[in-house]
């Protein structure tokens, strides 16, 4: 399970999303030799967690409130000794500090994220996440048209190939920067089963 939090002006964390781990339906790694980049195409489903018991939710709030923002450590969060547990069920696993900018047009949402992880390998990365909004909407339909989805994917991948898989700062004219102040910096942390 993942908990996503925003940093408020007073330095406290405000949880805005609790998700169970997502299930991956497809994963393809693609080497773009002409662009000197690699791309990963992934089809997955993320579910927002809604079936919390009151005790679990109160424990989660206490866990979040006990976190200390510390930009000098990987991930940017620490917990006082013995406070990184959620009752008898969960403990804090990975911690990610994420800063991102979001761009969007009618069919795509593009996030450029700087991620500082405190996990097994303590890494800082720059990631680009592209959400294909129209394709996802079509896939969610009961009577999804596979030919239409194939065409939409082909068109979206062409936009990605022609305009986004490059190392300079240019973007297509129809992709605009969406300035959302409260989403530009936040933290995610994973809760692992204690069993």
Query: What contacts 152, CB < 8 A, 6 or more positions away?
Result: 107, 132, 134, 135, 138
Least confident of 6-10, 30-34, 69-73, 119-123: 119-123
Answer with the residue of higher pLDDT: 170 or 43: 43
* Pick from 40-49, 125-134, 138-147, 155-164: least confident: 40-49
Residues pairing with 92 in the sheet: 191
Higher pLDDT, 142 or 1: 142
In the predicted model, what is the mean pLDDT of the chain? 73
pLDDT at res. 159: 79
- pLDDT beyond 60 at 104: yes
Checking if the pLDDT of 94 tops 80, the result is: no
Query: What confidence tens digit (pLDDT) does each residue in 137-195 have?
Result: 888 888 989 899 889 888 888 877 777 766 545 444 555 555 444 344 455 655 554 44
Q: From CA 143, how far away is CA 191, in angstroms rounded?
A: 36
pLDDT in tens, 14-33: 887 777 666 677 777 877 77
Helix (H), strand (E), coil (C) string for the chain: CEEEEEECCCCCEEEEEEEEEEEEEEEEEEEECCCCEEEEEEEEEEEECCCCCHHHHHHHHHHHHCCEECCCCCCCEECCCCCCEECCCEEEEEEEEEEEEEEECCCEEEEEEEEEEECCCCCEEEEEEEEEHHHHHHHHCCCCCHHHHHHHHHHHHHHHHHHHCCCCCCCCCCCEEECCHHHCEEEEEEEEECC
The reported pLDDT for the residue numbered 193 is: 47
Q: What is the pLDDT of residue 158?
A: 82
> Which is more confidently placed, 83 or 191?
83
Structure tokens at 144: 């999804």
Distance CA 158, CA 150 (A): 12
| Structure-derived torsion over alpha carbons of residues 144, 146, 151, 154, reported in degrees to the nearest 10 | 110
Of 161, 46, 152, the C-alpha closest to 106 is: 152
Note the pLDDT of residue 148.
Answer: 92
Entry pTM: 0.59
Would you state the pLDDT for residue 179? Answer: 47
Instruction: Determine the Cα–Cα distance for residues 44 and 3; give it in Å rounded to an integer.
Output: 18
The residue ranking higher by pLDDT, 117 or 112, is 112
With b meaning 16 or more CB within 10 Å and e meaning fewer, what string describes 67-89? Answer: beeeeeebbbbbbeeeebbbeeb
């Amino acid at each position: 399970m993942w908990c996503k939090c925003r940093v408020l002006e007073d330095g406290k964390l405000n949880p805005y999303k609790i998700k169970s781990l997502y299930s991956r339906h497809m994963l393809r790694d693609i080497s773009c030799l002409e662009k000197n980049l690699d791309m990963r195409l992934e089809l997955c489903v993320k579910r927002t967690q809604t079936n919390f018991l009151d005790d679990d939710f109160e424990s989660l709030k206490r866990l979040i409130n006990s976190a200390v923002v510390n930009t000098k450590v990987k991930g940017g969060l620490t917990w006082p000794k013995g406070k990184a547990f959620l009752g008898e069920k969960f403990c804090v696993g990975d911690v990610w500090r994420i800063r991102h900018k979001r761009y969007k047009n009618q069919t795509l949402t593009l996030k450029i994220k700087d991620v500082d992880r405190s996990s097994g390998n303590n890494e800082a990365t720059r990631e680009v996440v592209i959400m294909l909004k129209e394709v996802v909407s079509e896939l969610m339909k009961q009577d999804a048209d596979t030919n239409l989805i194939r065409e939409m994917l082909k068109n979206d991948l062409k936009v990605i190939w022609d305009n986004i898989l490059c190392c300079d700062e240019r973007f297509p004219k129809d992709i605009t920067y969406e300035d959302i102040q409260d989403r530009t910096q936040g933290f995610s942390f994973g809760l692992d089963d204690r069993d």
